[in-house]
Amino acid sequence: MTLPSSDCTIPPDRFYQKGISLFQRIFLTAVALCAVVLGIYYFDLLKAPTIHDANGRTMGTTWSARYVLDEQTGKATPEQAKAAIDQALEAVNQSMSTYIPDSELMSLNDRPVNTPVKVSDELFRMVEQADHVSRLSGGAYDVTAGNLVNLWGFGSVDGQAETGSEQSLPEQVNEHSQAAFQEWMAKGRVATVPAADAIAGAKQNTGFQSLILDQENRTITKTKPVFIDLSSIAKGYGVDRAAKALEQLGITSYMVEVGGEIRLRGHKPDGKGWRIAVREPVLEQGINTIVSLDNRAIATSGDYLNYYEVEGVHFSHLIDARTGYPEQHRLASVAVIADETSLADAYATMFMILGEKEGMRVAKEQGIDAYFIYHTDNGFTSSSTGNFDSYRVDK
């Protein structure tokens, strides 16, 4: 069917207006719309969440952070974020370090016995948390084991180590250079086993039962000359403090790590969660498992970093306060997931001291999310407790 010509003809005054054709108008309109769309897209890109990285040094080790800046949730700058983390970690170090002579913890250690000492809320809380883990372990893990740790040369004072101040990990030494790392760990340490009477003497001045914690007055009293050591919990607490500092800046998606202890919250800009690899418990080896976490923390402890050998016998820094000697079992490392990094840190250390049998028993009884890696004749094997497997993404 053919339409009449009069019905299909566009009048000239409608086809051309002021010298601009209809096709030109359509084209210019399309260009204008594209410009508006691209402008909005570019503006959104400027406001889009972006990942930022920061790192530094603290507590004789390194720290790192990866976080998402989003104009919708906060106005912080990368410089402000790094400064907030540094400030938080410095406060924890000044409070809980045994390598700073005038730290709050060392001032407490230096006070006479039977003298109530008022301490900060933070120090009280960490000593209280470590005391809880000490009781849970039956005294194997002990917050007052500093005299034994120092005697074996793994501490900050006395003993066999000539370490007047905490050693920082040199730039050229890292976990991928096994020989250099072990050389650095052994620096200033005399690799000899303490005499039995010296160990017995240090044990006499060890025992979490010798601490009186007054919650109402926030005082700590020592009934024996014990040495409180928070090395197994302070780094984890530093992570918690650094994470809180980021949250106060409006940053709600982050991954914060101090010495391998990590806290995570939120997700990456692409919507994917943060993933953490649990490494094989041997330097220069790869990944054992991978977990994905949100608003939780993970900490690991192992026997493959801080140790020395005497006549072929491996002595790690993990001292069983019940015996006065370093742990001796086939457990190679433990990873623990918890709500607080400080607690995950302490639990991981406790399990390493208890060993595979006692550690597994306590973890199962308490419902703790833990991942145990054991030495075998052919390498390593593993087992888990609690809900740890639900976080794994490599099963």
**Cβ density class 318-336: b for 16+ within 10 Å, e for less:** bbbbeebbbbebebbbbbb
292 is in an annotated binding site: no
CB 67 within 8 A of CB 246: yes
**Sign, CA torsion 110/112/118/121:** positive
> Can you name the residues that pair with 326 across neighbouring β-strands?
319
Q: In what order do the strands lie in the sheet with 117-118?
A: 117-118, 219-222, 211-214
Residue 120: DSSP 8-state: -
The answer to whether residue 4 sits within a structural domain is no
Asked if 173 and 180 touch (Cβ cutoff 8 Å), the reply is yes
Determine if residue 21 is labeled as part of a ligand binding site: no
The DSSP-derived string for 141-167 is S-TTBHHHHHHTT-SSSSTT---SSPP
How does pLDDT run along the chain (395 residues), one tens digit per residue?
433 333 343 344 433 344 556 555 565 566 555 554 444 444 343 455 789 999 999 998 999 999 999 766 667 899 999 999 999 999 999 999 999 999 999 999 999 999 999 999 999 999 999 999 999 999 999 999 999 999 988 887 654 433 333 444 444 444 444 455 445 455 545 567 888 999 999 999 999 999 999 999 999 999 999 999 999 999 999 999 999 999 999 999 999 999 999 999 999 988 889 999 998 877 666 889 999 999 999 999 987 655 445 555 556 678 999 999 887 788 889 999 999 999 999 999 999 999 999 999 999 999 999 999 998 888 889 999 999 999 999 76
The CATH number given to whatever domain includes residue 319 is 3.10.520.10
Distances 215 to 121, 192, 330 between C-alpha atoms, Å:
9, 41, 39
- Residue 289 placed within a domain: yes
Distance CA 283, CA 334 (A): 15
Q: Is residue 190 part of a domain?
A: yes
Name the phi and psi angles at 102, rounded to 5. -105, 20
Domain membership of residue 28 (yes or no) is no
- Total domains in the chain come to 1
Query: Which residues have C-beta within 8 Å of that of residue 190, sequence separation ≥ 6?
Result: 153, 160, 161
- 143: containing domain: 51-391
Q: Is 349 annotated as a binding residue?
A: yes
- First-to-last CA distance in the chain? 68
Residues 94, 104 contacting (CB under 8 angstroms): yes
**Residue 13 forms part of a structural domain:** no
Domain membership of residue 77 (yes or no) is yes
The answer to whether the CB of 76 falls within 8 A of the CB of 210 is: no
Residue 81 belongs to a domain: yes
Domain-embedded: residue 21: no
CA distance 364 to 351: 12
